[in-house]
Amino acid sequence: MNIFDKSFNPSEAQIRYLDGDYVVVRPGSFVRCAITGTPIPLDELLYWNVDRQEAYVDAKAAHEAFVRHGLGRV
């Protein structure tokens, strides 16, 4: 699925993040990174935080969230 294909009408999904998995609450094709705002296709979603119920586009964004919430060093 390519969310940037002009013929595809993307919609934002609502997700409940679990440990090692997630449940789609409202169907859609992507979620947004909590740090960058970048759309993340569901089939490419690898990083999230269960406690804050946030998705991250990559490990760098996940680490930034970790630091922002006072849980790590810069």
What tens digit of pLDDT does each residue of 5-37 get? 555 678 999 999 999 999 999 999 999 999 999
pLDDT exceeds cutoff 90 at 2: no
Residue 33 is given by DSSP the state: B
- 52 in any annotated domain: yes
- 42 in any annotated domain: yes
pLDDT per residue over 48-74, tens digit each?
999 999 999 999 999 999 999 877 665
User: Which 3 state secondary structure label does DSSP give 31?
Assistant: strand
- 37 in any annotated domain: yes
The CA dihedral of 38, 19, 27, 31, to the nearest 10 degrees, is 0
Residue 43 is given by DSSP the state: G
Query: Residue 38 belongs to what domain range?
Result: 14-68
- 61 in any annotated domain: yes
Residue 29 is given by DSSP the state: S
**φ, ψ for residue 42, nearest 5 deg:** -55, -35
Count of the separate structural domains present in the chain: 1
What's the pTM?
Answer: 0.81
- 9 in any annotated domain: no
